[in-house]
Structure 1
Amino acid sequence: MEEAVQWAANVMDHKTGIEKKAQEEERAGKCEILDLSGGENITELCKRKKKIKKACSPQAFVENPVVRLEDTAEFMNAAGQGKLNVIFKYLADGGNPNVHDELKRTALHRASLEGHTAVVQMLLEKGADINFKDQLGSRAIHWACRGGSLEVVKALKSHGADLNVRDKLYSTPLHVATRTGHTAIVEYLLSCCAKINSRDREGDTALHDAVRLNRYKIVKLLVVAGADTKIKNHEGVTALQQVKQWQFDIMETMQRLEKLREVGLVAPENTSRERSE
C-alpha cells in the first residue's frame, strides 16, 4: 500500500514539473534558456545569448499596418477636398489607390472632378488606374472635363489618358466638355487632335450638343476646327437643322402666346412688363 502511494506521489511530482517547465517556456516567449552547467565556452555562450535576445526582441513581432474602413472613407473624402497629407498617409500605410465607392468612383475620379491637380498627380504616381471605369463607364478624363479644370486634363493627358475614350453612352471627353460648356477644355482637346465627329449613343456629335445647348463659342470652335455639319443623328437631323428647328420652335411658341393673348387667356405684354418691373 505504501509503495502504491509513493508511486502516485512520484507521478504527480513528475506532472507538476512538466507543467512548471511549460509555464516557464510560455513566460519566456519560448525563447531558449542558457544552461551554464554544461561547461561550454563563455564566448560561445555570449554568441548564443545575442542570437536568443535578437529572436525574442519585440521588433520581430511587429505587423504591417492595417488599413481600416474609416481610413478608406477619409481617403476618399480627402481626394475630393484636396487634402494631400491625408492622401499621402493612406498610401504610405499601404492603402489601395483604386478603392472605390458604391458607384465605382475612385479617388482619382473625385480629384479630377474637383480640379485638385496635385492630388491627381500623387495618385497617378502611386499606382492609381487612369482607365478605371465607374458604373457609367466614365474614366478620370471624363470627370475632369465635367469639372472644368484644364490643368487636370493636361495632367491626365501627360500620363497617357485616351482623349477619345467612350463611356457607356458612347460620350467622349469632347462631348462632356461641350455639354458642360468648358470652352477652354474643348479648345485644348481639339488642339490635341481629339476626334471631332465622334457620335454618342443618340448619334449626336459634339456639334449637335453645342447647337442644342446654345454654346455659341464652342459651335464656332468646332466649325473652324472642321466639324462635319452634314452628319445626321439617329433622328435624321443634322446640327444645322437643329438650329432651324430651334428657331421654328421659338417662333411657334411666340405665335401661340400671341393667340392666347388675343383671346384674353394671357395678360397683355405691357401689363406683364409692369408687373415684372
Structure 2
Amino acid sequence: RRVSTDLHCEVLDVSGGENITELCKRKKNFKTTRSPRMSVEIPVVNARELMNAASQGKVNVIEKYLADGGNPNLHDELKRTALQRASLRGHTAVVQMLLEKGADINFKDQLGSRAVHWACRGGSLDVVKALKSHGADLNVRDKLYSTPLHVATRTGRTAIVEYLLSCGAKINSRDREGDTALHDAVRLNRYKIVKLLMVAGADTKIKNHEGVTAVQQVKQWQLDIMDTLQRLEKLREVPPENTSRERSE
C-alpha cells in the first residue's frame, strides 16, 4: 500500500544537550528547518512502520515515537489512525498510551468509524472498556448510521454486546437501512445476541425501511429457504438424458 506523502512526524526538538559531533552524525537522517525562535530537526517518517507498530502492539516503538514529539493522530491514506488500528487488534496498552498522549478518541476515518467501532469489530472487551473510561460515546454513528451495538452484533461479539447494554447503549437505534441491532442479530442468526437484546427490552415492532420487523425477517428467511429447496428439488427431478439433450441443443 502506497503511503501518502503528507504523513510526516511532528517536530522533534533536539536543540541543546548534544555535542557537534552527534549532530553531524544525525544530520544525514534529518531534514532541518529553522524558525526565528529555535532550531529544530524533523525526522523523515516511515508512516507505514508506525501503523504496523500499532497493529502489532509494539509498545516500545509507539512510546519512542510519542516521546520524540510524534503526532498521536497520524493516519494512513484511509484516515485510520494508530488508535483505530490498535483498537481493532485489541492492543490495550497501545490504546491507553495513545489516549494519554492526546490521541483523538473521536477521530473519524473515511467511513466515519471511530476507535470504538473498530474495537467492537476486533472483539476486545478490554479495549472497549478503556475507550469508555476515556469518554468514548457508545452511541456514536458512522456514515452508515451504525452504532457500536450494530457493529458488535454483526460481528458476533456477544460479550461486547452485553457490556454495551449494561452501559445503557441505545438498544433500538436504527442504521441507514432502518435496521436495529435486533434486525441484524436475527438476519445473521446470532441467537445469543438475540436473547440478550430481547431480555434488555429491544422493540420487536420496529420496522426497517422495507417495512419489515425483526420477527417478520424470520418468516421471510424461512420462505426464501423453502423456495430455494423447492427449486433444487425440481432440478433433481429432471432426468439426466433431458439435461444433456438440452445442453447439446
Helix, strand or coil at the partner of 1:79 = helix
Partner of 1:5: none
| Structure 1 residues 43-83: Cα deviation after superposition (integer angstroms, max 9, x where no partner) | xxxxxxxxxxxxxx969x9954523222x332221001100
Letter paired with 1:219: V
Q: Where does the alignment leave 5 or more consecutive residues of structure 1 unmatched? A: 1-56, 266-277
1:90 has 2:58 as partner: no
- Structure 1 segment 17-56 matched on structure 2, within 5 A: none
Instruction: Please state which structure has a larger fraction of its residues in strand.
Output: 2
Letter paired with 2:127: V
- Structure 1 segment 164-179 matched on structure 2, within 5 A: 164-179=139-154
Helix, strand or coil at the partner of 1:69 = coil
Letter paired with 1:242: Q
1:262 has 2:237 as partner: yes
Q: Where does the alignment leave 5 or more consecutive residues of structure 2 unmatched? A: 1-18, 24-37, 241-249
> Scaled by the length of structure 1, what TM-score is found?
0.72
Letter paired with 1:178: T
| Candidates 85, 102, 110, aligned match of 1:110 | 85
> Scaled by the length of structure 2, what TM-score is found?
0.80
C-alpha separation between the residues in 2 aligned to 1:97 and 1:130? 11
User: In terms of Rg, which structure is larger?
Assistant: 1
C-alpha separation between the residues in 2 aligned to 1:109 and 1:95? 17
| Candidates 143, 148, 154, aligned match of 2:123 | 148
C-alpha separation between the residues in 2 aligned to 1:153 and 1:251? 40
* Bigger RCO of structures 1 and 2 (CA < 8 A, at least 6 apart): 2
| Structure 1 residues 151-196: Cα deviation after superposition (integer angstroms, max 9, x where no partner) | 0000000000000000000000000000001100001000101000
Partner of 1:248: 223
| Number of residue pairs matched by the alignment | 207
On the 8 A contact 1:67/1:93 being kept in 2, the answer is no
Letter paired with 2:171: I
Partner of 2:155: 180
Instruction: Please state which structure has a larger fraction of its residues in helix.
Output: 1
Letter paired with 1:112: S
Partner of 1:69: 45
The alpha carbon displacement at 1:256 in A equals 1.6
Letter paired with 1:251: M
C-alpha separation between the residues in 2 aligned to 1:64 and 1:122? 25
Identical counterparts, % of pairs:
84
The Cα RMSD (Å) is 1.7
